[in-house]
Amino acid sequence: MSRNNRDAVSLMRFSLFNQLAFAALILLSSSSSASTGEAMDWIQKMSIAMREISYQGRFVYLQNNQLESMSILHVKDDNGMRERLVSLNGEAREILRDNNNFTCIWPSSRQIVVDQSFNSTSSPIWIPEDVKRLSSFYEFSVIGHDRVAGQSAIIVSIMPADEYRYGMKVWINKENGLLLQSLLLDEQGQVLEQIMFSELSLMNEEEQKLFSVMPEIDSSYTLIRSHHDDQSAAVQSDNKWRFEAMPGGFWVESSFRKKLSGDDAYIQHLVLTDGMASVSVFIEPASEESLSGESSMGAVNAFGTLLNEYSVIAIGEVPAITVMQLARSTRYQP
């Protein structure tokens, strides 16, 4: 075979190889997109189920090498949402939530703390709201099947697209979409927190009717209101604190302030979230006890710095770089 013929054959082979490689890339991309779409559909189904379905169960919560067992009752009916969490080991406490209030009952200290529902998280169980928004900052994929609490589950991986947030793996009931298990993962893929249901079932109409969100409380309990409605409403429209370098996807979900006892000063509290991760930023008059620098405990990282006469502390279940950037970029803009 002449050199020209060999060159022509080689060129044909190279062209054919490129065509096959290109076709394989398209198939791979199409398969990846399908997997992403399927995974997001499962997360959306879970989000709706955890809000709209009435259920009861028990789960274990592993955090900072401490294992806590809790029971949960969640009812959604014509009157809205009602939920009760009861700690089954360690110090006794109950967490109650409805459409308006978040209440924590501490039997040992005989105290009841009441807050506004939208300013509080009632349980460690993650329930997303805007799944489509999350897709800009997390990569979704279906990675397998399993059984949890005797129920068939689909496993979905949620990995961050940058260094400002943690990843997750969630196990979702194939039939009703309820969350059965979740893992919070750090930057190296190590488990920071784990939630796993040992029992989970749907509540029938009779069980829902018998459920009362508030247990009977005697007069020996002290009622503590964390935020007064009139004060919080007035302050929320007057927030002048801003962030010069907020990580992509985060926004200020709520902002309010609380008056320090026996003083004219206030603590400003801003809650930032990307729909999955959340960070609290506390701004108050600086003192010798104010946190300076970084601190961490398990999944929670904190960073404190001084801004003129103020102490700024950012804390949340996010990587250390996230709280550091938020604290250092906090500014007051009259």
H/E element, 320: helix 320-328
39 inside domain: no
Q: Is the dihedral of CA 163, 243, 297, 306 positive or negative?
A: positive
15 inside domain: no
Query: What is the per-residue pLDDT for 333?
Result: 83
3-state secondary structure of 38: helix
* Cα radius of gyration rounded to whole Å, the chain: 25
**Residue of 1, 62, 12 whose CA lies nearest to 196:** 62
108 inside domain: yes
d(CA 273, CA 286): 25
Clarify whether residues 168 and 53 are in a common domain: yes
pTM: 0.81
Q: Which amino acid is at 172?
A: I
Residues with pLDDT less than 50, the chain: 3, 7-12, 14, 24-31, 119-120, 228-237
- Name the H helices within the chain: 3-52, 131-134, 205-210, 229-236, 320-328
DSSP 289: T
d(CA 205, CA 143): 36
Choose the final residue of a domain: 222, 256, 273: 222
Choose the final residue of a domain: 222, 244, 274: 222
8 inside domain: no
d(CA 149, CA 181): 9
Query: What is the per-residue pLDDT for 26?
Result: 47
Query: What is the per-residue pLDDT for 118?
Result: 54
Domain, as residue range, for 111: 46-222
* pLDDT tens digit sequence for 199-241: 999 999 888 887 776 667 777 888 887 654 444 443 444 578 8
Check if the beta carbon of residue 255 is closer than 8 Å to that of residue 270: yes
DSSP conformation letters of 50-86: HHHS-EEEEEEEEETTEEEEEEEEEEEETTEEEEEEE
Clarify whether residues 218 and 285 are in a common domain: no
3-state secondary structure of 238: coil
Tokens of 259: 């008056």
Clarify whether residues 247 and 303 are in a common domain: yes
Q: Is the dihedral of CA 51, 140, 169, 201 positive or negative?
A: positive
Task: Domain count for the chain, please give it.
Answer: 2
Query: What is the per-residue pLDDT for 14?
Result: 44
Clarify whether residues 215 and 245 are in a common domain: no
Q: Which domain CATH number covers 328?
A: 3.30.200.100
What torsion, rounded to 10 degrees, do the Cα atoms 321, 124, 60, 70 define?
150
Query: What is the per-residue pLDDT for 20?
Result: 53
Check if the beta carbon of residue 159 is closer than 8 Å to that of residue 153: no
Clarify whether residues 78 and 209 are in a common domain: yes
Clarify whether residues 81 and 168 are in a common domain: yes
